[in-house]
Amino acid sequence: MPLRRLMLIVALIAVAVPMSSEAQSDGGSLLGTWEAKADAEVHEIIIRADSSASYGTETVRWRVKADTMMIALGDEWVCYTLRVRGDKMTLSEGDLQEPITLKRVGPPSARPDSISVPADPMPGEVDVCF
């Protein structure tokens, strides 16, 4: 393999690795429509790039850093331990009695213009969980 081609491959890997970890830290791997089964019912959760997430008629704000997901519920952030593997996401701790696992079933739908992204419950305190 010519040296020039090898250098190009090394450069592409060097760029791709930080981009993939950056996508995880900003929630890029979380975007989509997810389903969770609870009490014999299927619940749909939509996680969007604009930091909104919807389930049923509720729309909340979310943040992710490392293995922690923060969801703005009411006037406070609730922190969950997050694990994403392919099309499976598991949330635990926070206000959960036991971990829940969701399955990605498709891309996120657009948030209707009539629904705004909620404000941060505690502006300036986004690192509450980190």
Which CATH number belongs to the domain containing residue 43 in this structure? 2.40.128.50
Q: Is residue 37 part of a domain?
A: yes
- Number of domains comprising the chain: 1
The pLDDT tens digits of the residues spanning 19-74 come to: 333 334 445 688 999 998 877 888 899 999 999 999 888 999 998 888 999 998 88
Residue 124 lies in a domain: no
**Structural domain of 80:** 3-106
The answer to whether residues 32 and 104 touch, using CB atoms and an 8 Å cutoff, is: yes
32 within domain boundaries: yes
pLDDT of residue 106 exceeding 60: yes
C-alpha to C-alpha distance for 113 and 9, rounded to whole angstroms = 43
CA distance 62 to 65: 10
How far, in Å, are 4, 19, 65 from residue 52 at the CA level? 44, 22, 16
pLDDT at residue number 8: 34
Interval 77-102: pLDDT, tens:
899 999 999 999 999 999 899 999 99
In a domain, 128, yes or no: no
126 found inside a domain = no
